């Protein structure tokens, strides 16, 4: 072998210009380098170029801009001002050029072919081949005819087989490569003239490396069109035999050839590709991720081809394949594969385990259950693949369950399956394997089912549990089940309405009771398993019981599901085949097995009570009945304390109370009736209420809250409520199995095109309806997003007898010829033009309106609508109504049930609505409106009233509000304690953290509902059309605390901006970031550093209302993109904090400096009559607040971080919450504390007057031993002497008589009238970007995190894990160790300066350093001069720090501090 055959380094482009792997890379877009390499080689340039790209859609008009616009806006599309004549002339010239070039190319091809076909010297052949390569590099498909390609192929193949001249070999093979690129049929010509064996021979000879590399390039092209010919010619072994001789890039090319061949393996003969398995198994150990993915793909395809041959599966199981695959799918593996390949590898193990005992033994030896446990335990639906998972979809969880089912033998009650006996014998002889399997997986499988996954995954988990429990021995089973509450789990499974799932729950129960009868009979009774079994036998028992979780179980085979669950995990059945098979279950099998279990295990057990209940359940029932009786008989409020204490004593007592007992006892119903205070609303509506007396609702809520201030655990009670909610909730997750949006045509409510499917509906009048006529016997195509008001507008003229009579006298309107009003038309046209931009807020707003105005009725229109006989809520869309109807019958709603079936909707004339009293909100004036909402507002129509689900949601909402406003309630209580003399001095009125409930917000999060919302938000159709089930918006509006912060962040982006954000990342911790989606259009904007606010104003005036991402470039500075943009928002933040703006409390109106705000920024009050103060016009202040609203909204929209220290009270105002006296302490503790003490004096006087101890005239109030009138307070706002609160003879000085009025005026001026105009301006600016109401699903603390990011301190371990070290540095490099020590030594301000230096913003995004994107990267900076004299530099767009290798830690710290302090304010160190 000559020196050409030496193995080369891994550098891709180190070949000489004329000996590169494929020089076409220099000439043509379709190069012979693999697509992956092209992407890799250009990714760096694309990263930087992308920062300068803009979208034409965001640039507005294409017309010429004014000079002013040119100074500010970048990236607009250039307008085409060329005239039509010139355009035609240029086009004709281009066509003439193309014709001339085509003619020239054909002449050149003929000349070169003539030269190469003749007998000429080798130098002449080389020159001709070079010319041919150049022609092929530039020519198009039309330049090369099939005849010419057919003529060139044999000549080039002959030259490729040249025996001695490597240059001719290289050039001829290169020409063949270009030929395949240029002409689509060239591959078939090469095959016809036996070109593939020639290339394979050159590869196997491998005399010259560059020739061999060119052979690989050529084979890659040929294999795309002729994979079978390549296989038959031995190309797989040819490209793999000497693969180690090549660089990584060429190895990828070789493997892509094998992938192309394996994609279309023939149905007969194994040897051509099975011979390559040993080499492929070795290649799985390589470090290059892309190479390993290619190898994995080849092995996956081979396994699919041979999975029906046990001998071939045994052969595959050798050579270390299973070891390598197990290592790759392990979450701790350093090799990162794509999701599809990772899932495919699990599927490969499924096929091996289905037919090879060698594979089964090896997998158990490798402890595969531990690896699969990790995959399932981190199976987070928020980052998974869209559901539902049917057979044929390579979803990872689905494949994991298939593997688990293949590892365990089928149970004896099932049909014969290959290897079942061998597997059973193996596990009997190795019981430790089964025990380890159970210890690893049982808890995780239970957790997955409990999380509310879709029916297919639930069924798969239960199948694994069924097999595991069937084969494990009794003693091991008892130990295993002690670790998991299997009784509670099975009771939850029985709430599923699918008969297949219920059958598995019964078989698991039967197996457990058969093996350990004595240990599980009582738990089954306690957790409600026995009750569920009884409900299967006697359905009336479940429907009559207050615990409705076991109602409506489907006992027949009738289902709208597309595929029967019986076949959902069959390894060999195809999806189409399994759909046509009948269900394996008999109609009466459920009841038969239920009766057998009841007879065999419960009727014979003397300890089981006759009605299947427990003592604690009967006690709780008795207490709830007692409380209900007291409410009915209007017992005085003081009488409730005893029974409430009894209830809480049992709930917090030593006896364990199951979810079944807790909900089934009626405790939640009784507490709901107690707290919802029907008595209160009756007294007030009757006019018997008194403004001086607390209403019943307030007193009851305070009584209930005091229970948890004394002896009872609020956390434990919340936990019980959460468990109960997870058991009784039945909210549907509707995931449409529609891969692409298809255009449809709707005829109802009017004719229009839609970009989503329409529903088939048959309208007819309800039985017994005599005043209306039938509409039509034809099936209508109805827009699924139409609400029933719109449908009624369509139907009413056609079904009303009076209307029809009128039509007889006039023109008759065709049923399908109704046109929309102008408003409807414009809205629908906009909707149809871009379904992704559909305003999803429509549903949310309707839902929120229903909660805010409970007096609205679902019978407001002319018609009432029914779906299959059940009344439809008019506020829902047709889509939502169908979902709710099908979910009530089946546990899942499929594509077929929604779009393929015909839905029968009937109508009748509506009765007049009954108005509900609106007096609910007339409670005591001091009662916070924030606590009125959970007491009296509706939860939503998606939750049926008078059900355990509704009652539990009500109680959770009450407790969350009590927890959130705990300081308000405590302050209120202490003021009254002072008034009654239970507290003797003012210091006791002050609220401290002691004795105050402080429950984490996470305790109110329901994981099951969060999982369901995550699943629902992944449905592309529901997201794009706004067709998510109504419960999503209604619960988010009324009970947002039920969902995790991460889930609410995603929901916020969907509802506020209308599109899913592909780059919404969730960090490894518990935080998530809302970062901007790179697919959004971008707009450049030129900014002047000396005019930051002016630039910001101009930016917002132009782009606030546009859905574009703004990026900043500074005038006369290098750098643009993410870093400068983040710095811009930071600079704007600083500008808003400067003194002299008149915006904030504490503004000293000096010319320089920042507003002193130790407790956060809060708007400064302006008197309604004042227009100028301290030479500042109020109109300018309003403009500043409007700009601030725009900036805050745009920062949230674009995913930017602001450095604005708003007070918590200001965040509450942004969220639309009302402030009161107790909130003043959040931004002005001194004033707030004083006002609370004044209020305590007022309450003390009122109390003494009420008990008759003193009259109003006799009491002179004293504040800390000083009479009020001696405090010399006037009626001006404290701190604002120009703000006159009131005027008049009795309003000159504050005294005991007018102190209460003074307090009210100060509070009003501070948090209401004095700042209302500023807040109106802020909201107005905010709403220009997106509706501010979308933020109401967050708390004030969460909004601060969203807007201002994270403030975190770092330790060495965190930093080394979260920072990438590259290009000369590793985590153990001495300069890096010095750097990590220095960063930890920085104080808070220095850390902020460092973060700003590297990223452009002093605050990290939500999620902290872990969610920084791109990841913070530190590389070695190569210096031309002395290292210690150089400074660090950054690329803020890429979070890229270039750090010189300083000689000492001290020098590094000095240079870093200098750079992060002096380098701010420009991008000269970029």
Q: Mean pLDDT highest for which of 672-686, 1092-1106, 1451-1465?
A: 1092-1106
Binned at pLDDT 50, 70 and 90, residue 1042 comes out as: very high
What the block records as the tokens of 1459 is 């750079």
The residues that are catalytic are 1437
Is the model's pLDDT at 55 over the cut of 80? no
Q: What is the DSSP string of 391-436?
A: TT---HHHHHHHHHHHHSPPPTTS---TTHHHHHHHHHH-HHHHHH
Q: What percent of the chain has pLDDT over 90?
A: 30
**Secondary structure letter of residue 749 according to DSSP:** S
> pLDDT of 1211-1227, one tens digit each?
999 999 989 898 999 99
Regarding predicted confidence, which is higher, 1151 or 1324? 1324
> pLDDT of 98-113, one tens digit each?
777 777 778 888 888 8
> pLDDT of 616-663, one tens digit each?
999 999 999 999 888 888 788 778 888 898 999 988 888 889 999 999
Minimum mean pLDDT range among 367-376, 537-546, 896-905:
537-546
What the block records as the tokens of 28 is 């043509």
What the block records as the tokens of 485 is 């509450």
Minimum mean pLDDT range among 254-263, 918-927, 945-954, 1331-1340:
918-927
* 3-state SS assignment for residue 1417: strand
Burial class (CB in 10 A: 0-12, 13-18, 19+), 163: exposed
pLDDT of the residue at 552: 47
Binned at pLDDT 50, 70 and 90, residue 1426 comes out as: confident
Nearest to 1219 by CA among 873, 842, 1397, 965: 965
pLDDT of the residue at 383: 34
Binned at pLDDT 50, 70 and 90, residue 855 comes out as: very low
Cβ–Cβ < 8 Å for 263, 231: no
CA triple 860-866-871, angle to 5 deg: 65
pLDDT of the residue at 1: 41
CA triple 1169-1172-1175, angle to 5 deg: 165
Q: Give the helix, strand, coil percentages of the chain, each rounded to 5.
A: 60, 5, 35
> pLDDT of 1265-1284, one tens digit each?
788 888 889 999 998 988 99
Instruction: Give the containing element (helix H, strand E) for 239.
Output: helix 235-241
Residue 568 CB contacts under 8 Å (≥ 6 apart), including other chains: 390, 391, 456, 459, 460, 578
- Range 1355-1368 average pLDDT: 74
Minimum mean pLDDT range among 347-361, 1030-1044, 1352-1366:
1352-1366
Distance in angstroms (rounded) separating the CA atoms of residues 269 and 279: 19
Cβ–Cβ < 8 Å for 467, 410: yes
Residue 848 CB contacts under 8 Å (≥ 6 apart), including other chains: 1033, 1037, 1333
Residue 1419 phi, psi (nearest 5): -125, 160
The neighbour count for residue 498, using CB atoms within 10 Å, is 19
Distance in angstroms (rounded) separating the CA atoms of residues 963 and 1000: 9
**Secondary structure letter of residue 550 according to DSSP:** G
Minimum mean pLDDT range among 142-146, 763-767, 947-951:
142-146
pLDDT of the residue at 739: 46
Binned at pLDDT 50, 70 and 90, residue 1005 comes out as: very high
Binned at pLDDT 50, 70 and 90, residue 339 comes out as: confident
End-to-end CA distance of the chain: 50
Is the model's pLDDT at 917 over the cut of 50? no
> pLDDT of 64-93, one tens digit each?
333 334 344 333 333 344 456 777 777 777
Strands (E), 705-830: 744-746, 752-754, 759-765, 780-782
pLDDT of the residue at 1022: 67
Residue 431 phi, psi (nearest 5): -65, -25
Is the model's pLDDT at 1175 over the cut of 60? yes
Residue with tokens 């050159």: 202
Cβ–Cβ < 8 Å for 938, 1026: no
Is the model's pLDDT at 1008 over the cut of 70? yes
Cβ–Cβ < 8 Å for 1406, 1443: no
Angle between helix 486-493 and 517-527 (nearest 10): 50
pLDDT of the residue at 612: 66
Distance in angstroms (rounded) separating the CA atoms of residues 1371 and 495: 52
Distance in angstroms (rounded) separating the CA atoms of residues 1118 and 532: 71
Q: What percent of the chain has pLDDT over 70?
A: 77
pLDDT of the residue at 348: 94
Distance in angstroms (rounded) separating the CA atoms of residues 1095 and 462: 61
Binned at pLDDT 50, 70 and 90, residue 443 comes out as: very high
The neighbour count for residue 821, using CB atoms within 10 Å, is 10
pLDDT of the residue at 4: 35
pLDDT of the residue at 1272: 87
Distance in angstroms (rounded) separating the CA atoms of residues 1039 and 725: 13
Residue with tokens 């001194």: 1230
pLDDT of the residue at 508: 94
CA triple 929-932-933, angle to 5 deg: 95
pLDDT of the residue at 79: 36
Burial class (CB in 10 A: 0-12, 13-18, 19+), 1018: buried
Cβ–Cβ < 8 Å for 1450, 1397: no
Instruction: Give the containing element (helix H, strand E) for 1437.
Output: none
- Range 149-157 average pLDDT: 91
Distance in angstroms (rounded) separating the CA atoms of residues 86 and 665: 86
- Range 1-24 average pLDDT: 35
Distance in angstroms (rounded) separating the CA atoms of residues 1375 and 206: 45
Binned at pLDDT 50, 70 and 90, residue 1073 comes out as: very low
- Range 245-251 average pLDDT: 91
Cβ–Cβ < 8 Å for 594, 506: yes
Is the model's pLDDT at 834 over the cut of 80? no
Instruction: Give the containing element (helix H, strand E) for 907.
Output: strand 902-909
The radius of gyration computed from the CA coordinates of the chain, to the nearest angstrom, equals 38
Regarding predicted confidence, which is higher, 1247 or 1465? 1247
Cβ–Cβ < 8 Å for 784, 752: no
**CA–CA distance from 514 to each of 47, 58, 477, 949 (Å)?**
64, 69, 12, 34
pLDDT of the residue at 893: 60
Mean pLDDT taken over the chain: 78
Q: What is the DSSP string of 567-631?
A: GTT-SS--HHHHHHSPPSS-TTHHHHHHHHHIIIIITT-TTS-TTS--HHHHHHHHHHHHHHHHH
Minimum mean pLDDT range among 545-554, 811-820, 1354-1363:
811-820
Regarding predicted confidence, which is higher, 1388 or 597? 597
Binned at pLDDT 50, 70 and 90, residue 1062 comes out as: very low
pLDDT of the residue at 1196: 93
pLDDT of the residue at 687: 44
pLDDT of the residue at 881: 83
pLDDT of the residue at 686: 44
Largest CA distance in the chain: 131
Minimum mean pLDDT range among 24-33, 439-448, 873-882:
24-33
Residue with tokens 């190895």: 251
Is the model's pLDDT at 545 over the cut of 60? no
Q: Alpha helices of 633-749 — where are they, by DSSP H?
A: 640-651, 659-664, 667-676, 678-685, 696-710, 714-728
* 3-state SS assignment for residue 1276: strand
Regarding predicted confidence, which is higher, 397 or 740? 397
What the block records as the tokens of 197 is 């064996």
Regarding predicted confidence, which is higher, 1289 or 545? 1289
Q: What is the DSSP string of 1099-1112?
A: HHHHHTTS--EEEE
pLDDT of the residue at 550: 52
pLDDT of the residue at 84: 67
pLDDT of the residue at 1157: 80
Minimum mean pLDDT range among 12-16, 622-626, 1149-1153, 1451-1455:
12-16
- With left for phi above 0 and alpha for psi between -120 and 50, is residue 1009 left, alpha or beta? alpha
Residue 904 phi, psi (nearest 5): -95, 115
pLDDT of the residue at 921: 32
Is the model's pLDDT at 468 over the cut of 60? yes
pLDDT of the residue at 281: 93
The neighbour count for residue 570, using CB atoms within 10 Å, is 16
Residue 787 phi, psi (nearest 5): -85, 170
Nearest to 276 by CA among 309, 337, 324, 231: 231
The neighbour count for residue 1447, using CB atoms within 10 Å, is 13
pLDDT of the residue at 1120: 76
> pLDDT of 775-815, one tens digit each?
877 899 998 888 888 898 888 888 886 555 444 444 434 44
Nearest to 745 by CA among 731, 733, 756: 756
pLDDT of the residue at 83: 55
pLDDT of the residue at 579: 47
Regarding predicted confidence, which is higher, 752 or 6? 752
What the block records as the tokens of 1092 is 């930051």
pLDDT of the residue at 287: 84
Regarding predicted confidence, which is higher, 27 or 134? 134
CA 378 to chain centre: 15
pLDDT of the residue at 683: 40
Residue 1138 CB contacts under 8 Å (≥ 6 apart), including other chains: 1152, 1153, 1154, 1155
Is the model's pLDDT at 1166 over the cut of 50? yes
Instruction: Output the CA torsion 598→603→609→611 (10° steps).
Output: 50
CA 789 to chain centre: 32
């Amino acid at each position: 072998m000559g020196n050409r055959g030496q193995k080369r380094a891994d550098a891709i482009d180190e070949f000489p210009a004329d000996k590169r792997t494929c020089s076409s890379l220099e000439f043509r877009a379709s190069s012979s380098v693999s697509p992956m390499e092209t992407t890799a080689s250009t990714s760096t340039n694309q990263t930087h170029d992308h920062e300068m790209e803009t979208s034409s859609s965001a640039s507005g008009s294409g017309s010429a801009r004014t000079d002013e616009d040119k100074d500010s806006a970048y990236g607009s599309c250039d307008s085409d001002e060329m005239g039509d004549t010139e355009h035609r002339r240029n086009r004709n010239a281009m066509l003439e050029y193309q014709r001339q070039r085509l003619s020239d190319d054909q002449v050149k091809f003929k000349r070169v072919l003539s030269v190469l076909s003749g007998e000429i010297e080798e130098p002449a052949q080389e020159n001709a081949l070079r010319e041919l390569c150049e022609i092929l590099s530039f020519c198009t498909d039309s330049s090369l005819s099939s005849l010419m390609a057919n003529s060139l192929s044999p000549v080039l193949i002959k030259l490729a087989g040249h025996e001695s001249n490597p240059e001719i070999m290289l050039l001829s093979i290169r020409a063949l490569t270009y030929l395949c690129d240029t002409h689509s049929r060239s591959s078939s010509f090469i095959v016809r003239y036996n070109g593939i064996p020639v290339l394979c021979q050159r590869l196997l000879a491998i005399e010259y490396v560059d020739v061999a590399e060119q052979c690989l390039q050529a084979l890659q092209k040929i294999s795309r069109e002729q994979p079978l010919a390549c296989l038959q010619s031995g190309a797989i072994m040819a490209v793999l035999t000497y693969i180690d001789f090549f660089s990584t890039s060429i190895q990828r090319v070789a493997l892509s050839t094998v992938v192309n061949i394996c994609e279309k393996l023939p149905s007969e003969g194994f040897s051509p590709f099975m011979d390559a398995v040993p080499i492929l198994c070795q290649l799985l150990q390589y470090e290059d991720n892309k190479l390993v993915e290619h190898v994995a793909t080849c092995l996956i395809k081979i396994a699919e081809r041979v999975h029906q041959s046990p001998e071939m599966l045994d052969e595959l199981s050798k050579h270390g394949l299973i070891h390598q695959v197990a290592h790759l799918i392990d979450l701790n593996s350093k090799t990162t594969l794509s999701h599809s390949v990772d899932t495919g590898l699990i599927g490969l193990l499924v096929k091996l385990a289905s037919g090879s005992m060698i594979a089964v033994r090896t997998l158990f030896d490798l402890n595969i259950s531990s690896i699969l446990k990790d995959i399932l335990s981190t199976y987070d639906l928020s980052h998974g693949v869209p559901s539902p998972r049917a057979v044929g979809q390579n979803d990872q969880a689905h494949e994991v369950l298939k593997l688990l089912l293949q590892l365990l033998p089928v149970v004896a009650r099932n049909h014969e399956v290959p290897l079942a006996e061998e597997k059973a014998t193996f596990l009997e002889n190795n019981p430790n394997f089964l025990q380890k399997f159970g210890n690893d997986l049982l808890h995780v499988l239970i957790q997955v089912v409990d999380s509310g996954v879709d029916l297919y995954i639930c069924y798969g988990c239960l199948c694994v549990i069924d097999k595991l429990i069937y084969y494990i021995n009794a003693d091991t089973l008892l130990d295993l089940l002690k670790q998991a509450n299997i009784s509670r789990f099975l009771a939850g499974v029985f709430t599923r309405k699918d008969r297949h799932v219920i059958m598995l729950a019964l078989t698991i129960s039967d197996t457990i009771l058969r093996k350990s009868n004595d240990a599980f009979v009582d738990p089954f009774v306690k957790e409600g398993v026995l009750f569920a079994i009884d409900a299967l036998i006697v359905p009336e028992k479940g429907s009559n019981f207050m615990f409705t979780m076991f109602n409506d179980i489907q006992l027949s085979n009738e289902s709208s599901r597309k595929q029967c669950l019986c076949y959902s995990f069959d390894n060999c059945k195809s999806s189409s085949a399994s759909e046509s098979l009948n269900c394996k279950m008999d109609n009466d099998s459920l009841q038969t097995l239920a009766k057998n279990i009841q007879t065999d295990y419960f009727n014979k057990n003397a300890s089981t009570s006759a009605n299947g209940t427990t003592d604690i359940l009967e006690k709780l029932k008795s207490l709830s009945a007692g409380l209900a009786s007291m409410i009915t008989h209007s017992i005085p409020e003081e009488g409730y304390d005893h029974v409430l204490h009894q209830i809480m004593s049992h709930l917090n007592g030593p006896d364990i109370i199951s979810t079944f007992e807790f909900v089934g006892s009626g405790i939640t119903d009784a507490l709901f009736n107690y707290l919802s205070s029907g008595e209160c609303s009756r007294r007030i509506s009757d006019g018997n209420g008194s403004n001086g007396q607390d209403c019943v609702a307030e007193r009851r809520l305070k009584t209930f809250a005091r229970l948890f201030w004394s002896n009872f655990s609020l956390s434990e009670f919340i936990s019980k409520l959460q468990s109960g909610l997870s058991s009784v909730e039945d909210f549907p997750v509707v995931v449409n199995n529609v891969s692409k949006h298809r255009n449809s045509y709707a005829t109802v409510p009017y004719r229009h095109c839609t970009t989503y499917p329409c529903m088939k509906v048959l309208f007819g009048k309800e039985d017994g309806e005599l005043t209306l006529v039938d509409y039509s016997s034809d099936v209508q195509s109805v827009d699924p997003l139409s609400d029933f008001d719109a449908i009624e507008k369509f139907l009413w003229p056609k079904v009303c007898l009076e209307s029809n009579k009128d039509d007889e006298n006039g023109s008759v309107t065709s049923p399908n010829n109704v046109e929309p009003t102008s408003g409807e038309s414009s809205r629908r046209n906009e909707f149809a033009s871009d379904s992704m931009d559909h305003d999803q807020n429509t549903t949310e707003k309707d839902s929120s309106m229903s909660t805010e105005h409970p007096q609205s009725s679902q019978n407001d229109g002319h018609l009432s609508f029914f779906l299959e006989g059940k009344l439809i809520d008019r506020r829902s869309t047709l889509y939502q109504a169908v979902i709710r109807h099908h979910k009530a019958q089946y546990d899942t709603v499929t594509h077929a049930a929604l779009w393929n079936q015909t839905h029968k909707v009937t109508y009748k004339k509506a009765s007049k609505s009954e108005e509900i009293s609106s007096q609910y909100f007339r409670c005591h004036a001091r009662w916070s409106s924030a606590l009125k909402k959970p007491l009296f507002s509706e939860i939503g129509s998606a939750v049926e009233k008078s059900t355990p689900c509704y009652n539990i949601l009500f109680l959770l909402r009450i407790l969350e509000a009590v927890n959130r406003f705990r300081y308000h309630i405590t302050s209120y209580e202490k003021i009254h304690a002072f008034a009654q003399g239970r507290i003797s001095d003012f210091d006791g009125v002050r609220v401290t953290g002691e004795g105050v409930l402080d429950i984490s917000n996470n305790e109110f999060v329901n994981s099951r509902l969060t999982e369901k919302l995550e699943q629902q938000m992944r449905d592309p159709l529901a997201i794009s059309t706004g067709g998510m089930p109504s419960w999503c918006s209604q619960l988010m509006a009324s009970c947002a605390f039920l969902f995790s912060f991460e889930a609410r962040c995603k929901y916020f982006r969907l509802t506020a901006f209308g599109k899913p954000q592909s780059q919404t990342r969730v960090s490894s911790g518990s935080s998530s970031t809302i970062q901007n989606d790179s697919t959004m259009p971008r707009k450049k904007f030129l900014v002047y550093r000396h005019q930051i606010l002016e630039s910001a104003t101009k930016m917002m005036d132009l782009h606030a209302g546009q859905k574009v991402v703004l990026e900043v470039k500074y005038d006369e500075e290098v750098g643009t993109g993410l870093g400068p943009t983040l710095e811009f928002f930071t600079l704007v933040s600083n500008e808003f904090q400067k003194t002299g703006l008149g915006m904030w409390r504490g503004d000293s109106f000096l010319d320089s400096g920042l507003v002193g705000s130790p407790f956060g920024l809060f708007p400064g009050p302006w008197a309604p009559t004042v227009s100028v103060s301290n030479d500042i016009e109020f109109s300018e202040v309003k403009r500043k607040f409007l700009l601030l609203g725009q900036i805050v909204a745009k920062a949230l929209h674009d995913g930017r971080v602001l450095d604005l220290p708003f007070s918590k009270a200001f965040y509450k105002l942004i969220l639309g919450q009302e402030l009161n006296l107790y909130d003043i302490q959040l931004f002005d503790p001194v004033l707030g504390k004083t006002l609370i003490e004044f209020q305590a004096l007022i309450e003390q006087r009122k109390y003494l007057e009420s008990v008759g101890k003193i009259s109003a005239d006799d009491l002179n109030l004293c504040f800390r031993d000083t009479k009020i009138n001696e405090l010399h307070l006037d009626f001006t706002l404290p701190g604002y002497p120009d703000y006159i609160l009131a005027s008049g003879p009795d309003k000159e000085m504050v005294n005991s008589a007018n102190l209460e009025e003074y307090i009210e005026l100060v509070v009003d001026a501070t948090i209401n009238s004095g700042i209302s105009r500023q807040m109106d301006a802020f909201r107005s600016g905010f709403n220009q970007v997106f509706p501010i109401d979308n933020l109401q699903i967050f708390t004030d603390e969460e909004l601060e995190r969203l807007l201002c990011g994270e403030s975190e301190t770092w330790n060495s371990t965190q930093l080394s894990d979260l920072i990438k070290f590259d290009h000369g540095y590793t985590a153990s490099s001495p300069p890096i160790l010095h750097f990590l020590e220095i960063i930890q030594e920085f104080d808070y301000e220095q850390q902020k300066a460092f973060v700003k230096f590297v990223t452009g913003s002093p605050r990290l995004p939500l999620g902290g350093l872990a969610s920084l994107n791109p990841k913070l990267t530190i590389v070695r900076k190569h210096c031309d001069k002395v290292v210690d004299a150089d400074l660090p530099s950054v690329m803020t767009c890429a979070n890229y720090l270039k750090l010189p290798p300083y000689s000492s830690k001290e020098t590094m710290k000095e240079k870093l501090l200098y750079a992060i302090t002096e380098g701010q304010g420009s991008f000269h160190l970029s």
